[in-house]
Structure 1
Amino acid sequence: MTAALELARVAYQEHRWTAARDAFGDAQRSRPLPARDLELAATTAFLLGLESEGVDTLTRAHEAFLAADDITGAARCAAWLGIQLTNSGSRARGGGWLARAQRLVHGPGEPGDAEGFLLIPLGLGSLYSGDADGALRAFDQLVDFAQRFGDRDILCLARLGQGQARVMAGQVEEGMSLFDEAMVAVTADEISPLPAGIVYCAVIGTCHLAYDLRRAHEWTVALDQWCAARPDMIPFSAQCQAYRAALYCLHGAWSEAYGAALLAEERFERGDREAAYGAFYQKGEIERLRGQFEAAEASYRRAGETGFEPQPGLALLFLARGHGEVALALIRGAVDGTDPGTRRRLLPALVAIELAAGHLADARAAADELRIGSSDSRMPMLRASAGQAHAAVLLEEGDAHGALAEARRASSLWRDLDVPFELAQCRSLIARAHRVLEDAASADVEFQAARAIFTQLGATPSVRELDVAGRTPGDAPLTGREVEVLRLVASGLTNKAIAAELYLSEKTVARHLGNIFAKLDLASRAAATAYAYQHRLV
């Protein structure tokens, strides 16, 4: 063995990927690398974001294993090539390599652990199509293979798949337990770098989907430390930043969230393709909440180019811009036919948009579904979200006492979770309930508290909405639909044009306008326009 090859192997073990790549390059200039070292060199290239080089080197490793009559090694390389190419969008090439791996493992001789790798695409296909039972069968079989051959990489990926399938099927606690089992192997550094990164990012993503904020925190911190120990690694680093952005956003550190999203975008441009959605979606979220609507739409569109719908962000953006019918079509389309975990994440936005559209029965149905799904959950974030949605529906139904109690419970949970934006939303609901109950002093205290939080966050659109709800001279705040009409009046549109914009009848628009004049104590469209500009609604 040459000195360069020894240096390459040591650098690989120490996670110094750039040094390992350079040393592998030096070593093979004097003599061809053994198959196993070619496989390590390929992994190094992938970890540096050099996908083309990684594919070429892994192809050479496959051929070297074949030359050495090591069918298991050759099949393993073929399977990884298939997985890598398929994930990067080269489905035809990836399918060809998976077919070759299939042929090798089913050829003469004893089956090897590489046969297990072929179950990974099968299980993933079932997951992506929403077939939780099919995915679970594939990953259960994969566990059997991994345990038979003692392959820790495959076993860890199998546990991950089992957990994802359980969560998709609504068995959240069982799924999370499987994730914890998989993460033990990752944090103990028992598995290879590529499977480790895959497990980290998939577990954190599913924790967010399942409202498991505690685990999302814990594993994001662990992923951050794992990436920091591998500073020249490109894959998974952008995903880490996207997850950090999501947590920062949740906890009200919006500047830090935006910075992390920009880092995720930069790392995506350097090669971490799996992070495209998260990088742009998180940028869009901050921009939307700050009122930078054009920038937010551009970010959401970029996120949507990955093939995943940028929801509920895009629908909420259209709602904030006064396009309630578009928002409703988007959120309903996203909710229909999706898996239970994703549906649960979208339901709070569905409730808000249905209420804004005046569809109280539909909002009630969505809120009830969310509440039933959270009734026996140990996830306080899910219970808080369900309680907040329920309170909003109760208020619109006229049950101010019930809304007040429900909103107080939800606000307590949001406060414990340190989620200021949702806390302010709940305090706004509490204020509105107090107003209906003719407790003006308590209503004012809650309105001012909510406004202070929104102002500190930089949530300009929410401050504007709150000013309309909290400072009207009449007995009742404007509804979401009335705010939409007021904005369009201030934009100079006639009743006929407003009706066309909102898909309403002119008679309905006139009724909304009459309500606006009465609530705000205004006598003309000009006065309504002045009010809208004074309160920064346009």
Structure 2
Amino acid sequence: MEHIEFRILGPLEILVGGAPIRVGGPKERALLTLLALDTGEILSPDRLIEGLWGEAPPASAMKTLQTYVAHLRRALEQGAPGARPRILTRARGYLLDAPSEDIDAGRFERLVAEGRLALGERRYQAASNVLRQALSLWRGSALADLDADGAAQAEIARLDEERLRALEARIDADLGCGAHADVVPELQRLVAVHPLRETLRAQLMLALYRSGRQAEALDAYQRARALLVQELGIEPGPTLRRLEEQILRQDSALDRNAEPADVHSTPGAEELLQTAHVALARYDWRGAHDALTRADATRPLDPEHLERLAEAAWWGGRGEDCIAARERAYAGYFEQGDVSGSARAAIGLAEDHFHMGAFAVCRGWIGRAERLLQGVGQTVEYGHLLRVKTTIAFDLDGNTDLALDLAAETLAIGLAVGERDLQVIALQDKGRILVNLGSLAEGMSLIDEAMAATVGDELGPYATGVAYCNTIITCESLADYNRAGEWTEAMLRWCERHARSGFPGVCRVFQAEILRLRGRWRDAEETARRAAAELEHVVPFYAGEAWYEVGETRRRIGDLAAAEEAFRRAHALGREPSPGLALLRLAQGDVDAAFSLIRETVQQQAEHSLNRMRNLPAQVEIALAAGDLGVAHSSLDEMLETSARFGSSVMAAACAQAEGAIRLVEAAPLEAAERVREAVRLWRKAELPYEVACAQLLLARSYRDAGDRERATLEENAARASYDALGAAADLR
């Protein structure tokens, strides 16, 4: 896939694989510039409208904005075929999904920071090279496609100031290299353009003095003083006055010394650490990772900051960087004899490897943490160790009894030590285990309580993500999409309060499924593709889940080739590709392959399990197409038992539709119609438009076989209207 680069330090340019593409008219270019300026952030329609039209927008501004967004998406899709969507729609606005390194302004800021760091360490040649590279990114005036007198005026001024300060820093670096004679002509031109800027005046004086032109250096001071007095009525600042005195007495401090060897600069490292702390506080994982990595290059990080680097790397999708940083933290704590720190790092490594699917390594780190904490009693670290062991027992080993005991013990420790994250996650673990054991009401009550604490800002970011993801996983297994949708909306509001651009990683996978089920297929695919990109090197299995969602969306649209490719990628990452792939084969007319796939998938899952329940409706549909009523009936029987056990209305809808389909094949159209009407009612109650349309089409067939053409036509027309609204392909109808 070719790289996409956005350039806003001058007229807008979009490069795909190094070649420019067209992006529309002036307003569309201005819109993309606004989005690129705050990449990754949600910009409200009001803010974008103000940026495009100022304080007097046209009455049609909202509709026109939506048109511009559509045009930009089309231009990017045509210019970069196959690339993931970059302009995303969110609940309260739009965002450009591109890392800061893909925006020239973002690269400029990073390079300037690196150049300033090198300058502070007196590595003058390195500083000069990096700062020249940064300045070379400019191709004209900043944000040239925006009105310089409009809403972007302050941002344009900021970028212009940053450019000038970077230029001053580069000249400082050149002076440090001994290139004083070379910079004199450049400084003379700059002083003429910026006559009141004292930094440039001071640099010109120093360059002239070092070039053996002492009289001209003093004359430059007098001309600067005369201008300041005449224009502003003030004397030069202390820097210029002190420099004049040093020149008059030929102070040896002004001589250019040989460049010293590279040394660590504590102030530079401390400044970067402070930047990282600010970034972490607002969940700016990319900014935190960048600052901590550069601080580490300046001076090796201590174990505590290595843990923070690991956290930023994990959220930023850098799994290997996360593990490397946490391994260094473990080694640092262990060398210091810090048992709590060593155990905490070991537990973090166990979780990291669990997410990566390296379960043997995960268990190894659990064993190491257990040995370190042996005999220490009830501590926060021991509580988190028990929490990881709960996850292993429940999610990996399927030992629900042990998992329930561990969750209860974790909760008790969380309460004893006053650790809120531990309390809430243990509460939720207990809830999801109870749900699995069939205690639906009690379990979901605990899960809802935990989620209320989550959106109420009681938890840190990791615990927040765990709580949301586990809630949606449980709702998904129960087909309780209404509850999942409600908590997803609540989490969207949480994200916006914290200036988050969306759900991190795994959470985004489940958001994509909710969007698909609600009929928002374009948004669902955008979200799933983004999740897949984020997760492939952190939690590969869930990257597979994301690709499975892409496949399900493409299958419904009718793009069967793209759906098959998505299912293939899901399978490569460890996600079982059925029932989606089996239903795809059915749509392609290969009933034998479909039947073989779905039966193999169902046979691999435990009877009456929630995971198996998700595959049984597809097995009924494919078995009927294959003419195997026996498999269809046995599948329905198991569906009815599972539905009765968990009491899910969506499961009941699937059962009613499956039973109706069987009755229709058995030439009992009136009985079929009765069951399918119930399915339509339940699907509609659950707000699942595609499922409603599929059931309506089955109901139309039932009425037609019963000789009721009037009702058959009504249901068929309603189904086709829904398919058209959703964008479902004709060959799926």
TM range (shorter): 0.7 to 0.9
CA contact (8 A) 1:17 1:232 kept: no
Shift of 1:300: 0.8
Q: Deviation per CA, 1:372-426, whole angstroms, max 9, x where unpaired?
A: 4334755432222222112112222333222212211221222233322211222
- Change in 2 beyond 3 A, CA 1:119/1:104: same
Determine which of 565, 577, 591 is the counterpart of 1:324: 591
Q: Provide the residue aligned with 2:651 in structure 1.
A: 382
- Change in 2 beyond 3 A, CA 1:181/1:68: farther
Shift of 1:282: 0.9
Q: Provide the residue aligned with 1:411 in structure 2.
A: 680
Work out the CA distance in 2 between the residues paired with 1:83 and 1:418. Answer: 36
Q: Which amino acid aligns with 1:409?
A: E
Determine which of 311, 326, 342 is the counterpart of 1:74: 342
Q: Provide the residue aligned with 1:188 in structure 2.
A: 456
Work out the CA distance in 2 between the residues paired with 1:296 and 1:97. Answer: 39
Range with bigger deviation, 115-124 or 442-451: 115-124
Q: Provide the residue aligned with 1:398 in structure 2.
A: 667
Alignment of 1:79-478 (within 5 A): 79-106=347-374, 109-126=376-393, 127-227=395-495, 237-268=504-535, 273=540, 275-339=542-606, 340-375=609-644, 379-460=648-729, 463-464=730-731
Range with bigger deviation, 125-134 or 341-350: 125-134
- Change in 2 beyond 3 A, CA 1:20/1:293: closer
Shift of 1:227: 4.8
CA contact (8 A) 1:385 1:410 kept: yes
CA contact (8 A) 1:254 1:286 kept: yes
CA contact (8 A) 1:371 1:390 kept: no
Range with bigger deviation, 435-444 or 219-228: 219-228
Q: Deviation per CA, 1:457-512, whole angstroms, max 9, x where unpaired?
A: 3332xx4475xxxxxxxxxxxxxxxxxxxxxxxxxxxxxxxxxxxxxxxxxxxxxx
Shift of 1:28: 6.0
Shift of 1:51: 2.9
Range with bigger deviation, 3-12 or 393-402: 3-12
- Change in 2 beyond 3 A, CA 1:124/1:305: farther
Work out the CA distance in 2 between the residues paired with 1:138 and 1:29. Answer: 41
Work out the CA distance in 1 between the residues paired with 2:732 and 2:570. Answer: 27
Q: Deviation per CA, 1:41-75, whole angstroms, max 9, x where unpaired?
A: 33223222233333333234334444554322221
Q: Which amino acid aligns with 1:243?
A: F
Work out the CA distance in 1 between the residues paired with 2:283 and 2:521. Answer: 32
Q: Deviation per CA, 1:270-317, whole angstroms, max 9, x where unpaired?
A: 756453122210111122122222221221121112223122111111
Q: Provide the residue aligned with 2:318 in structure 1.
A: 50
Work out the CA distance in 1 between the residues paired with 2:732 and 2:320. Answer: 51
- Change in 2 beyond 3 A, CA 1:50/1:245: closer
Shift of 1:105: 0.7
- Change in 2 beyond 3 A, CA 1:303/1:30: closer
Counterpart of 2:525 in 1: which secondary structure? helix
Q: Which amino acid aligns with 1:167?
A: V
Q: Provide the residue aligned with 1:524 in structure 2.
A: none
Range with bigger deviation, 236-245 or 200-209: 236-245
Q: Which amino acid aligns with 1:259?
A: E
Range with bigger deviation, 92-101 or 293-302: 92-101
Normalised TM-score (structure 2): 0.58
Larger RCO of the pair (alpha carbons < 8 Å, separation 6+): 1
Shift of 1:102: 1.6
Larger radius of gyration: 2
Work out the CA distance in 2 between the residues paired with 1:64 and 1:111. Answer: 24
Counterpart of 1:395 in 2: which secondary structure? helix
Could you say which structure has the higher helix fraction? 1
CA contact (8 A) 2:378 2:413 kept: no
CA contact (8 A) 2:380 2:413 kept: yes
- Change in 2 beyond 3 A, CA 1:50/1:434: closer
Q: Provide the residue aligned with 2:93 in structure 1.
A: none
Work out the CA distance in 2 between the residues paired with 1:287 and 1:31. Answer: 49
Q: Deviation per CA, 1:352-379, whole angstroms, max 9, x where unpaired?
A: 1121122223212322332343347554
Work out the CA distance in 2 between the residues paired with 1:288 and 1:435. Answer: 27
Shift of 1:428: 1.8
Counterpart of 2:576 in 1: which secondary structure? coil
Work out the CA distance in 1 between the residues paired with 2:501 and 2:630. Answer: 51
Q: Deviation per CA, 1:90-110, whole angstroms, max 9, x where unpaired?
A: 44544433222121011x544
Counterpart of 2:459 in 1: which secondary structure? coil
CA contact (8 A) 2:640 2:652 kept: yes
Q: Provide the residue aligned with 1:513 in structure 2.
A: none
Counterpart of 1:130 in 2: which secondary structure? coil
- Change in 2 beyond 3 A, CA 1:409/1:323: same
CA contact (8 A) 1:377 1:383 kept: no
Counterpart of 1:118 in 2: which secondary structure? helix
Shift of 1:170: 3.1
CA contact (8 A) 2:357 2:539 kept: no
Shift of 1:88: 1.5
Work out the CA distance in 2 between the residues paired with 1:430 and 1:397. Answer: 15
Counterpart of 1:459 in 2: which secondary structure? coil
Q: Which amino acid aligns with 1:237?
A: P
- Change in 2 beyond 3 A, CA 1:378/1:96: closer
Work out the CA distance in 1 between the residues paired with 2:542 and 2:689. Answer: 27
Shift of 1:31: 6.6
Work out the CA distance in 2 between the residues paired with 1:16 and 1:102. Answer: 33
CA contact (8 A) 1:18 1:232 kept: no
Counterpart of 1:100 in 2: which secondary structure? helix
Shift of 1:452: 2.8
- Change in 2 beyond 3 A, CA 1:465/1:438: farther
CA contact (8 A) 1:42 1:57 kept: yes
Counterpart of 1:425 in 2: which secondary structure? helix
Q: Provide the residue aligned with 2:109 in structure 1.
A: none
Q: Deviation per CA, 1:8-48, whole angstroms, max 9, x where unpaired?
A: 43432232334434554576678765544443333223222
Q: Provide the residue aligned with 1:41 in structure 2.
A: 309
Range with bigger deviation, 297-306 or 395-404: 395-404
- Change in 2 beyond 3 A, CA 1:174/1:357: farther
Work out the CA distance in 2 between the residues paired with 1:44 and 1:174. Answer: 36
Percent sequence identity over matched residues?
A: 35
CA contact (8 A) 2:602 2:615 kept: yes
Counterpart of 1:56 in 2: which secondary structure? helix
Work out the CA distance in 1 between the residues paired with 2:417 and 2:318. Answer: 31
Q: Which amino acid aligns with 1:17?
A: W
